[in-house]
Structure 1
């Protein structure tokens, strides 16, 4: 489920003429000038959090950060089997430009294949990343307040981790852009699409409904869930309309603060005015809740 807004967000950057300055390549937690209190910005790439080559993340630390600096975690898509954190680099630049006080963590996670299920492997990776950030929060000079933005499969993982794996209630907000929410949806179980079926096959040959529900944000969300914002397209060939709509209705029933944006004529990604609308709403949601 990788086909989304990666090229679209780039088009938005070109349209708006954004430019980004490169960050420092080395972590420097002390003032650059001993007589100054300024803490310099820093970028650390491919920070390892496990033995697998995919278990790495990039962290972008803003200037003058403190132990109250909030963290945004970006989760790429790719149908749980492909994709890379570099797919989210345009989002990194956008956040640095318009939300410059946030630290950004752009993550990779182990990818699934026909012999290795994504669940709970990829959720365990996110847990390990969060624990690593907590262990290093004084070194990085960041808080333990996290937000998630995920696209497609990354949206699914962001929602599910925030709803079911955030045992310390550290997540302030979560955003899903075209992410699956209910793997037990009849639209998936009775599908006639070979692409969708290939994703379902990743979960194993002896699938049972309880397994699918256990790894579905729709079935794991509770009234304690963090504020959630959802973006979906009405013509998406991979994500049935029921996915976003049903989760939005469930959040309403539970009294969870949330927003739901539906673009009837869009598919598994969009450009132009609707993309600008998505970023505008996402930015406002982050400011309000994180």
Structure 2
């Protein structure tokens, strides 16, 4: 699959150099094609940019949107890390709209939350204007992006527009002793959450833990965790499943062979895409 996607990307890069255009048509085989708008600014900060993929074939039906959120420990990473996987998803979900977004990275002078969750909200607002309707959203993220997908869906989705969350190796309980061995855990404690938004008697770690905000109306969630992941332990999967089950939330979780960065390697990536397809069919019936 990746060789095919690589060929497509090389073709697109050549086309871009020849045309110098930020809008282009991407053909993924057969009659599957998308119009791509690259590096759209959805905010005033240079980091607030996104790539938008619209199905080339116009239909009257309002389409749901995948919002792809990269990882990188909240203070690193870039949307380009998920370009390959986004193209793979587009091949399997040709009737969806796709957004691959950057967000403001955290630092010792800039907190992750609420900036990064606000960025997801800004993308959702941008899409509403761009598409001229309010789309249902599927938030899909890996690692820190998986965490942000869950945190936004469970805590900040005031309009209840999240159709599903696809959480890939994302931490759900930041107080889990197994996660505290994470090498940047001190960064999580100090710079993940702006203390100004904390309520009395609520720690930053609890505030930023997605499981803390799960209720009986939370979004359906599919999770994917690595059996030998040394960053996000399997205890995270067990804790998340337990809380979702307690609140009667539609959820599924799966394990793959490999570590933190192996989820999009063959055959793990293909297994994940098939699980997503089946999961979304279930949520459609609700």
TM-score of the two chains, using structure 1 as the length reference: 0.81
Q: Which residue of 1 aligns with 2:245?
A: 252
1:203 is aligned, of 192, 203, 222, to 192
> RCO (CA 8 Å, sep 6+): is it higher in 1 or 2?
1
Q: Which residue of 1 aligns with 2:88?
A: 94
Q: Which residue of 2 aligns with 1:170?
A: 161
How far, CA to CA, are the matches of 1:19 and 1:54 in structure 2? 26
Please say if residues 5 and 84 of structure 2, whose CA atoms lie closer than 8 Å, have aligned partners that are also in contact: no
Q: Secondary structure at the match of 2:121?
A: helix
Q: Which residue of 2 aligns with 1:136?
A: 130
How far, CA to CA, are the matches of 1:16 and 1:229 in structure 2? 25
- The CA RMSD over aligned residues, in Å, is 2.8
Q: State how 1:186-201 maps to structure 2 within 5 Å.
A: 186-189=177-180, 191=181, 194-201=183-190
Deviation, 1:195, is 3.8
Matched, 1:13 2:13: no
Farther-moved stretch of structure 1 (224-233 vs 178-187): 178-187
Deviation, 1:143, is 5.0
Please give the per-residue CA displacement for 1:91-141, whole angstroms capped at 9, x wherever unaligned. 221122111111001111000012211011100111111111112222xxx
Gaps of 5+ in 2: 16-20, 26-32
Q: Secondary structure at the match of 1:194?
A: coil
Q: Closer, same or farther in 2 for the Cα pair 1:15/1:137, shift >3 Å?
A: closer
Q: Secondary structure at the match of 1:229?
A: strand
Please give the per-residue CA displacement for 1:134-166, whole angstroms capped at 9, x wherever unaligned. 12222xxx6511111100000000011111111
Deviation, 1:274, is 3.0
Deviation, 1:288, is 3.5
How far, CA to CA, are the matches of 2:43 and 2:72 in structure 1? 21
Q: Which residue of 1 aligns with 2:116?
A: 122
Matched, 1:242 2:235: yes
How far, CA to CA, are the matches of 1:77 and 1:232 in structure 2? 14
Gaps of 5+ in 1: 1-11, 29-39
How far, CA to CA, are the matches of 2:34 and 2:258 in structure 1? 38
Q: Secondary structure at the match of 1:136?
A: helix
Q: Secondary structure at the match of 1:109?
A: coil
